Amino acid sequence: MSDALRPTGSSPTSETSSRAILAPGYSFTSVTDKIASIALSRRTPWQWFLGALTGFALTMVLLASLSYLFVKGVGIWGVNQPVGWGFAILNFVWWIGIGHAGTLISAILLLLRQPWRNSINRFAEAMTIFAVACAGIYPLIHVGRPWLAYWLIPYPNSMSVWPNFRSPLIWDVFAVSTYATVSLLFWYVGMIPDLATLRDRAKKLWAKMLYGMLAMGWRGSARHWARYEQASLLLAGLATPLVVSVHTVVSFDFAAGIVPGWHATIFPPYFVAGAIYAGFAMVLTLAIPLRKLYGLEDFITVRHLENMAKILLATGLIVGYGYLMEAFMAFYSGNVYERYAIANRMVGPYRTIYWSLIFCNIISPQILWFRKARRSVPILFVMAMIVNVGMWLERFVIVVVSLHRDFLPSSWGMYRPTAWDWSTFAGTIGLFLALMFLFIRLLPMISIFEMRQILPAAKAAEGE
Amino acid sequence: MSDFTRLREAAGTAGPWRSLGELGASADFREHLHREFRVPIDSGVDRRELLTLAGASLAMAGLTACTRQPTEHIYPYVKAPEEVVPGEPLFYATAHVHGGYARGVLAESNEGRPTKIEGNELHPASLGGTDIFAQAFVLGLYDPDRSQTLSERGEIRPWSAFLAAARLAVGKERPGRGAGLRFLTGATSSPTFAAQMAQTIAALPEARWVVWEPAGRENVYAGAQAAFGERLEPHYAFDRADVILSLEADFLAEGPAPARAARDFASRRRGDSPNRLYVAESTPTLTGARADHRRPLTPAGIESLARAVAAAVGAISGAASSDPFAAAVAKDLLAHRGSGLVLAGEGQPAAVHALAHAINERLGNAGKTVVYTEPVLAGPPGGAAALAQLAEEMRAGKVTTLVVVGGNPVYTAPADLRFAEAMEKVPLRLRLGLYEDETSRLCHWHVAEAHSLEAWSDARAYDGTATILQPLILPLYGGKSAHEFLAAFSEQSDKTGHDLVKDFWRARLPGDFDTAWRKAVHDGVVEGTAFAPRSPSPSLRPLDAKPPGAAETAGELTALFRPDSTVGDGAYANNAWLQELPKPLTKLTWDNAALISPSTAENLGVANEDLVDLLLAGRRLTMPVWIQPGQAEGCVTLPLGYGRTRGGRVANGKGFDAYALRGSDGLWSRAGLEIRKTGGHYPLATTQHHHAMEGRDIVRTVTAAALARDPDAVRKMGEPPPGPDDTLYPKLPAAAYAWGLSIDLAACVGCNACVVACQAENNIPVVGKHEVTRGRAMHWIRVDRYYEGSLDDPLTVHQPVTCMHCEDAPCETVCPVAATVHSAEGLNQMVYNRCVGTRYCSNNCPYKVRRFNYFLYSDFPTELAKMVRNPEVTVRSRGVMEKCSYCVQRINRARIAAERENRPIADGEIVTACQQVCPARAIVFGNIADPGSAVSKARGQRRQYGLLAELGTRPRTTYLASIRNPNDALPGAAKTGGDHA
Amino acid sequence: MQVFHRSTNTISRVSVFGAVFFLALLLWLFDALNRSPYTTLQGVARVQPVQFSHKHHVGAMGLDCRYCHTTVERAAFANIPPTKTCMNCHSQIWDQSPELEPVRASFRTDRSIDWVKVYDLPDFVYFNHSIHVAKGVGCETCHGRVDQMPLISQHPTLQMSWCLECHRNTEKYLRPRDQVFTMGYVPAARQEEIGQRLKSEYHIRPVLELTDCTTCHR
């Protein structure tokens, strides 16, 4: 055991306590108690019920919207000629983007041996899974005949025809499903030791049974730990390229099209950056209330928030560069359609959306250059919210504004989302919340054993 | 015919009607009956519900991937008619009668169901082309709203009862020698009908026949009267005219034979020496859009222009005016004596027609480009005067029996006659009508009229050529033809329509009657019935040189009343195809609006879709406005034919009834209109929101001169397309056939016929106003309309756009399930049954020609709706993409025929629906792999260009640039220049 | 205290691996069902108003297919004979047979006989008999040994894969035109050779064109 407990990565001894990733005064037991109790013993705060209830209510809205959709057809949405893709696809891209932070934190930061990730990776991963789940709904329901959506999967069939492997949508099927599977495995495998802990500490039988089954007989033997390390490293290795690939492939949906405003080689990198941007924004949005609600300020310290703020700033700048390049290339190409498309974003009927996007994603994050702002919890929370909105607006601009005016002016039109567009969107948010709240109530939202891993280092830091 | 009998049972709501009919017969009770028995079948609300269920069940069916075929049945003939081969269509020659004039057509029949209308090559008014009305009238045959019963005061009666009533009525009139008997009909050219009428009136000399056609040709005849002292039918040889001056004559869309006119006109636009067209008009028309020089003028302005030109060519006395336009036109006309042509529109006063005749006489055009014959329309002079007199007589109680044959006078009569009120003074009112409409409501007897595809009749074309109309199907609702109806008032009441028509011709056909008759019916034209050209008295009546008295004072608004460009005078209001057909210039659907010029809108401070109060001579109408570039200053066009109250489910409540403003003193135009802003708003459904080309080379227009100077003028206009090898995609394998389409924009007149033809051929559903406003119209081929130049008098161009069948099609690469793929012969195939509906292809289509079934648009529940469908084309269900297929069903039919005989497909053997209907012959389809084919020749022309070809799509559909031939002497020449390269 | 019995370890392992196979099984079942006569109705005889026996009329009496299916050589639809055709003979023979009452009734009342469609393609499939006959595809190839069927049932699955099998390898199925209507035709030489010869002789279009979607779907 003790081997496994040796803190990995650079010990923060030389750091001041303000940079601590674990508040002083904790012992192995106290860490475990504090986290495990949330799932097992502690009284559930009323805010949880409030949140969970909202989540479930909105999930019902989702179910209602989908039933109506299946009965009537996608005509209930605002999609039309020329805007064939509306909320469904833009929300898909938005959710997928959000679903990036988790794997990034767990996988890449694990490989980079960043111990500070230990307190946030668990629920970041959970968030990933739930976001991808929400994203996954859209491609299925946005098609005209959802009951035939399985035709996108290549399988030997009685029609003896195959899907069209040249289509980015087929690549999506593979990219997204792989990503979902690996993330799920990674998350679950990472949780096994803690599930065992919960199993051992649970008082009620049903809890013992439940956690026991999930723990799959983990005994924490050295052999288990060795296997565990192997597995998580392996999965991390698998997941890392996926983080990049998924949104790259998603960006192909647009980049492979000839629509002015879509057809750009810069899409893959700036989609990935945008995804991480959105992902961390969402992690912040969740982490800040959580640590308050469950008094976890000691585990999710200001340093965590600050690190994430830095990542926000960095990725935000990359995204900004992306926008700039788009505009420049349009001008530089001398292509009349590209030029018009960009100009149309800036001064066309949807200009307000474009400029609010610029404000949300490029202007406002600049405040994070200031240490004070990075370490101010309220500012960070507002910031994260703004970025969430901004990224959604970005997808609106890309999907809708590019389509509504393309080559032949005779076919130009407008896109107006209907109540059903909104209800479906709200519904997926509800589903996300519902799953999130279930998770924090029933599972250890912070990785217990990984916290214990960094404990000695933290202790040493105190010793200074 | 077994399915026909079943249908009849389906349609016969007779049972419940009779039983309930006895309860009461008041008008409101009939209203009640309508609600009870008509609506639930497929009214807006209930239909939606049905669709809901259908959609749901579809979903279920799909979810169980094991889609078992539902058990289907086969009902073979008991005794098979020999000419019928199941699955092989038959074509019968007949005619579509519009405003009394016959337009020859071939009606396609599939197992006894008329499904499609084609032009009749042998008919002078068609020459193989047709117009939107001919294309759409087959839909009217299956209209479930058509009157289905013979009724007296709302009570179902047998035909025999009506015969008795008619006989009784005639008996009552006999003593007074028919003094109280009036027959009110629409314009007709039917020789049989005219003869019947003459016979009836001969028996009752005091009876009178009144003709009322709301947008008729009375002015034309009156004009001839004024010029020559006799009523004559002028018709024009546009193919022989080098210079044409149209005084608001929209001959390409209106008039007796627009299809023929377009054919002749277009034949002179393609060549190196195109004709030149001057148009003066108050409201933009398709003809005006084709003009080399167009002049927006008020009605008075048009008349003074006519006088100026007449004076300048010396047709009338008086000083030549200073107007440079008039001078230039006159100069041009004088330079083309005998090959010039001046014509005035139906809406122009007799004086203007007279002036046109005078000019043509003077320049020796008469007999060359203008031909005069005796009037084609039978019956006494019509027009407002005749109707006004009738109304007067009715009001005075002089009329005891009123027989209304067709038409819809209560709806179409000038408002100031208060016709309905006068009519109710008549003790006995009998009516034959296709619908139980506004007029039937006020008639004691209503007889369901047979659709012209259900009955025997005859009619004359613009040049007098007669056509025998033959039925393709027994009357679905047991309707009667006008002949049978009229016969009820004579001694021949027992005769069938067939006998009446046949007997009329018996004496008049040369040679053996049966052979001649069979030939006449088969060909769709009766040989040698064209009227002989008349050379009218050369000595023209002296025309007064003084300008007209009633010129509108400056600043005053003038109301123009015109038949709507898609629903006509209202007769087609219940035809969903025509309702959803975008009007050629405004691109509006499902509604009419008051068209005002941009500057007028500015002065009034109104914008599109603003509701305004229109006040004219004490009459009032609230209507939305639509800003129409090119509208003459101060002129407000009020399209007729909308605001129906009893026109059927499609027609009712659509648009606004301009007849409510129309007075007998100004049928076509009247000054003194007042407009008041109400602040209200009324949404209109247009299919095109953006009207400028944004400087993109979409529609290329070149002047004849520029093209002569530089053969490459057209190609130089746009960015050059990539070369044959500049592609990463594999080349298409060389197949025996490579299908391609060429559209000649110089010939295209933007008449929309291709749009309706395509809809009829390919089972394209109608989506309704709401869906159109949401940008979901389904037409596979659309006619784009762009404006260039000033708002007040822009250059208007039209461009039919359909699937380009790109060789490197952007849509194909992105479809995840390979539902749209390329065929070896270069078709961009759309496979409905494979489509899952991601709409990615539509997004990626630069031409935006793909259409998506957002809901279950195709009418699955209604039985009648299925009758008109083309059995060769899949009916698309909800959630699939669709688009132009180059009429692949026709390609396959031709190929199978050819392969059965082991021969190649001949050029011209395959004709697409749009090509076949096109009156201007602007569309050519064929094998571009064969250098000798017509399409290859067309594509070989120097005007050829590919739309957005610079994207590397390699479109198989290509265009020939439009040609303009401006007169350099006029300032407008620069604008219409076109060589903006 | 231990809540789980030792055996749980095994159970968990089994279930983890088992799940994979169970899923595979489900998929296989689904596919099997989709190809089974339950879905395709292959070989399922239908109840008809008249128990018409092709075995008797074709096999025993040797009637030519075209005697009833008159338009098979010139139209898409092979034609179901009008009642008149039946009555040509059955006004003379078996004219009292109760079996044939529906036929006589139809002839009397001028109402069609209500046959149940056996070879029923989806409405989005456009099959044309005439071209197949003209290109040397035997009736037997798709309809089986009709001369041995007392009651007609669907010979093939009529699934798209079945259509494509022939459109992709025509040489395996072509026969000389004069053998098209033969039942129990045996190729004179190796089918491949004959097929190849006929393919060029009858100008059979290349596979690429025969498998274009619009060949059958429009």
pLDDT digits (tens, 9 = 90+) for A298-335: 888 888 888 889 999 999 999 999 999 999 999 998 89
Return the amino acid letter for C117. Answer: K
Which pLDDT belongs to residue B71? 85
Q: Answer yes or no: is A158 within a domain.
A: no
pLDDT band for B507, please (50, 70, 90 cuts).
confident
**A155–B contact, CB cutoff 8 A:** no
The two three-digit tokens of residue A212, written as one number: 């026991």
The percent of residues in chain A predicted with pLDDT above 70, rounded, is 94
**A1–B contact, CB cutoff 8 A:** no
B contact residues 867-886, partner A, Cβ 8 Å cutoff: 878-881
Residue of C nearest to A204 (CA): C3
Residue of A nearest to B60 (CA): A147
Question: Averaging pLDDT over each range in A157-161, B117-121, B540-544, which range is the top one?
Answer: B117-121
- For residue B880, the 8-state DSSP code is -
Which pLDDT belongs to residue B975? 45
Q: Which residues of C touch A150 (CB under 8 A)?
A: none
pTM of the model: 0.90
- How many interface pairs between A and C have CB atoms less than 8 angstroms apart? 27
pLDDT band for C1, please (50, 70, 90 cuts).
low
Residue of B nearest to A257 (CA): B844
CB A83 within 8 A of CB A259: no
Q: What is the mean pLDDT of residues A125-129?
A: 90
pLDDT of residue B701 exceeding 70, the answer is yes
Strand partners, B962: B701
pLDDT of residue B949 exceeding 70, the answer is yes
Return the amino acid letter for B577. Answer: W
Q: What is the mean pLDDT of residues B150-158?
A: 91
Q: Where are the beta strands (DSSP E) in A165-295?
A: none
pLDDT of residue A16 exceeding 70, the answer is no
Q: Which residues of A touch C157 (CB under 8 A)?
A: 158
Q: Answer yes or no: is A350 within a domain.
A: yes
Q: Which residues contact B66 (CB under 8 A, 6 or more apart)?
A: C33, C34, C38, C39
A contact residues 225-254, partner B, Cβ 8 Å cutoff: 253
Model pLDDT for residues C127-178, shown as the tens digit of each residue: 999 999 999 999 999 999 999 999 999 999 999 999 999 999 999 999 999 9
pLDDT band for B270, please (50, 70, 90 cuts).
confident
**C192–B contact, CB cutoff 8 A:** no
* Contact call for A161 and C159, based on CB within 8 A: no
Model pLDDT for residues B520-530, shown as the tens digit of each residue: 999 999 998 99
Interfacial residues of B (vs C; Cβ cutoff 8 Å): 2, 65-69, 71-80, 85-88, 733, 735, 821, 823-825, 827, 829, 831-834, 872-875, 885, 888-889, 891-892, 896, 899-900, 902
Which pLDDT belongs to residue B542? 61
Counting beta carbons within 10 angstroms of the beta carbon of residue B380, is it exposed (0 to 12), middle (13 to 18) or buried (19 or more)?
exposed
- How many interface pairs between B and C have CB atoms less than 8 angstroms apart? 137
**A318–B contact, CB cutoff 8 A:** no
> Mutate which of C124, C132, C163, C180 to disrupt the B interface (most B C-beta within 10 Å)?
C124
Q: Of A207-216, A337-346, B287-296, B550-559, which range is least confident? A: B550-559
How far apart CA A453 and CA A460 sit, in angstroms, is 13
At B743 the three-state DSSP class reads strand
Residue of A nearest to C157 (CA): A158
Q: How many CB atoms lie within 10 A of CB C122?
A: 12
How far apart CA B200 and CA B593 sit, in angstroms, is 43
pLDDT of residue B739 exceeding 80, the answer is yes
Which pLDDT belongs to residue B485? 93
pLDDT band for B494, please (50, 70, 90 cuts).
confident
Q: Which residues of B touch C114 (CB under 8 A)?
A: 73, 75
Minimal Cβ distance to A81: which of B62, B815, B842:
B842
The percent of residues in chain C predicted with pLDDT above 90, rounded, is 66
Which pLDDT belongs to residue B546? 53
Q: Answer yes or no: is A151 within a domain.
A: no
Strands B401-405 and B428-433: parallel
* Contact call for B838 and A142, based on CB within 8 A: yes
The distance of B889 to chain A (nearest Cα, Å) reads: 22
pLDDT of residue B978 exceeding 70, the answer is no
Q: Answer yes or no: is A159 within a domain.
A: no
How far apart CA B826 and CA A252 sit, in angstroms, is 27
**What ranges in B396-460 are assigned the alpha helix state H?**
409-412, 419-423, 438-441
At B253 the three-state DSSP class reads coil
Strands B181-185 and B208-211: parallel
* Contact call for B817 and A164, based on CB within 8 A: yes
Residue of C nearest to B875 (CA): C124
The distance of C89 to chain B (nearest Cα, Å) reads: 15
How many Cα atoms within 13 Å fall on the side-chain side of residue A394? Answer: 31
Q: Which residues of C touch A209 (CB under 8 A)?
A: 3
Return the amino acid letter for B365. Answer: N
User: Total domain count for chain A?
Assistant: 1
Minimal Cβ distance to B68: which of C39, C82, C106:
C39
At A296 the three-state DSSP class reads coil
Model pLDDT for residues B834-873, shown as the tens digit of each residue: 999 999 999 999 999 999 999 999 988 888 888 999 999 9
Which of B458, B97, B82, B33 is CA-nearest to residue B257? B97
* Contact call for A158 and C161, based on CB within 8 A: yes
- For residue C154, the 8-state DSSP code is B
Q: Answer yes or no: is A156 within a domain.
A: no
The ipTM is 0.92
Q: Answer yes or no: is A7 within a domain.
A: no
At B668 the three-state DSSP class reads coil
C contact residues 24-83, partner B, Cβ 8 Å cutoff: 30, 33-34, 38-39, 41, 46, 71, 74-77, 79-83
Residue of A nearest to B693 (CA): A409
**A216–C contact, CB cutoff 8 A:** yes
pLDDT of residue B151 exceeding 70, the answer is yes
* Contact call for A158 and C157, based on CB within 8 A: yes
* Contact call for B66 and C34, based on CB within 8 A: yes
Model pLDDT for residues B59-74, shown as the tens digit of each residue: 444 444 456 778 888 8
Q: Which residues of C touch A217 (CB under 8 A)?
A: 4, 8-9, 12
Which pLDDT belongs to residue C124? 92
How far apart CA B924 and CA B913 sit, in angstroms, is 11
Which pLDDT belongs to residue B125? 93
Can you give the three-state secondary structure of A202-227, one letter per residue? CCCHHHHHHHHHHHCCCCCCHHHHHH
Model pLDDT for residues B586-643, shown as the tens digit of each residue: 999 999 999 999 999 999 999 999 999 999 989 999 999 999 999 999 999 999 999 9
* Contact call for B87 and C77, based on CB within 8 A: yes
Model pLDDT for residues B164-197, shown as the tens digit of each residue: 999 999 999 899 898 999 999 999 999 999 999 9
CB A168 within 8 A of CB A93: no
Domain of A231, in residue numbers: 20-146+164-461
Minimal Cβ distance to C3: which of A158, A159, A208:
A208
Residue of A nearest to C13 (CA): A216
pLDDT of residue B656 exceeding 70, the answer is yes
Counting beta carbons within 10 angstroms of the beta carbon of residue B331, is it exposed (0 to 12), middle (13 to 18) or buried (19 or more)?
middle
**C164–A contact, CB cutoff 8 A:** yes
* Contact call for B896 and C209, based on CB within 8 A: no
Which pLDDT belongs to residue A108? 77
Residue of C nearest to A160 (CA): C161
Which of B327, B135, B245, B225 is CA-nearest to residue B757? B135
Which pLDDT belongs to residue C172? 93
Q: Answer yes or no: is A102 within a domain.
A: yes
Q: Which residues of B touch C217 (CB under 8 A)?
A: 829, 831-834, 874
**A417–B contact, CB cutoff 8 A:** no
Tell me the CATH number at A363.
1.20.1630.10
Strands B739-744 and B923-927: antiparallel
Q: Which residues of A touch B782 (CB under 8 A)?
A: 410
**CA B177 to chain CA centroid, nearest Å:** 41
Q: Answer yes or no: is A5 within a domain.
A: no
Which pLDDT belongs to residue A5? 35
Which pLDDT belongs to residue B735? 85
Q: Of A109-113, B531-535, B544-548, B757-761, which range is least confident? A: B544-548
Q: Which residues of C touch A156 (CB under 8 A)?
A: 31
Which pLDDT belongs to residue C141? 93
State the DSSP H helix or E strand holding residue A135, giving kind and residue range, or none if neither. helix A121-142
* Contact call for C160 and A158, based on CB within 8 A: yes
pLDDT band for A217, please (50, 70, 90 cuts).
confident
* Contact call for C3 and A217, based on CB within 8 A: no
Q: Which residues of C touch B87 (CB under 8 A)?
A: 71, 75-77
Q: Of A28-42, A168-182, B110-124, B415-429, which range is least confident? A: A28-42
How high does pLDDT run on average in chain A? 87
* Contact call for C83 and B733, based on CB within 8 A: no
